[in-house]
């Protein structure tokens, strides 16, 4: 993706997340998104076929950034997030959520957060699978792998929801410790 395309994509993401901070997902129109991004309708559709696809791509961008940073490929900041990364991929994710990068909290706290959480959970599954070694010391041999993965994913999502619902008082480091203590 060239620089111009990346800037257009980022403008669409910014417009979309800004709208989400004021409106429910189902109330947002493509017209409002393109007006806020200052792009044409054809340009928007060249990047994202639908609002659902836009949301899906936004969620994938979050995880792509984290995976690239973890693999030391993200230092060029090709993604919508700007950070230095950290040792723990789960801490990294909580840090982005605390900073409310690209208005992620609007997605999580909207009445339509189930759609976001579905994409979030799907991407989280890949993240957990690639880090299963961190949790295997606590896994009983009787527990099937898929059940264990689901338990870890569900625990992360519920930890995140609890953290947000309780005002995100704990630091990302503390909430990461809580999450890891429950699944390790």
Domain assignment present for residue 121? The answer is: yes
* CA separation for the pair 115, 107 (Å, rounded): 9
Share above pLDDT 90 across residues of the chain, in percent, rounded to a whole number = 31
Residue 159 is encoded by which pair of tokens?
């930890």
- Which DSSP state fits 4? H
Domain assignment present for residue 128? The answer is: yes
Determine how many CB atoms are found less than 10 A away from the CB of residue 157.
15
Domain assignment present for residue 163? The answer is: yes
Domain assignment present for residue 35? The answer is: no
Decide: helix, strand or coil at residue 160: helix
Domain assignment present for residue 11? The answer is: no
Task: List the CATH number of the domain containing 90.
Answer: 1.10.357.10
Domain assignment present for residue 140? The answer is: yes
* CA separation for the pair 94, 164 (Å, rounded): 11
Closest CA to 8 of 49, 36, 28: 36
Domain assignment present for residue 127? The answer is: yes
Domain assignment present for residue 16? The answer is: no
Residue ranges making up the domain that contains 76 = 51-183
What are 141-174's pLDDT values in tens digits?
A: 899 999 999 999 999 989 988 998 888 899 999 9
In contact, 62 and 104? CB cutoff 8 Å: yes
What are 58-112's pLDDT values in tens digits?
A: 777 766 766 555 555 544 434 444 555 556 788 888 887 787 655 666 666 666 5
Taken as a whole, the chain contains a residue count of 184
């Amino acid at each position: 993706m060239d620089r111009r395309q990346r800037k257009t994509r980022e403008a669409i993401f910014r417009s979309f997340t800004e709208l989400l901070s004021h409106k429910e997902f189902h109330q947002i129109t493509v017209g409002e998104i393109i007006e806020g991004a200052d792009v044409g309708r054809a340009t928007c559709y060249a990047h994202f076929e639908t609002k659902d696809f836009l949301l899906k791509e936004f969620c994938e961008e979050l995880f792509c950034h984290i995976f690239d940073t973890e693999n030391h490929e993200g230092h060029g900041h090709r993604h919508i997030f700007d950070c230095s990364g950290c040792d723990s991929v789960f801490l990294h994710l909580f840090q982005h959520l605390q900073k409310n990068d690209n208005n992620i909290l609007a997605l999580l706290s909207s009445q339509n957060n189930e759609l976001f959480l579905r994409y979030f959970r799907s991407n989280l599954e890949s993240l957990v699978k690639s880090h299963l070694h961190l949790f295997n010391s606590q896994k009983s041999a009787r527990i099937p792998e898929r059940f264990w993965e689901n338990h870890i994913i569900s625990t992360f999502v519920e930890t995140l929801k609890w953290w947000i619902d309780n005002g995100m008082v704990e630091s990302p480091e503390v909430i990461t410790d809580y999450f890891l203590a429950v699944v390790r």
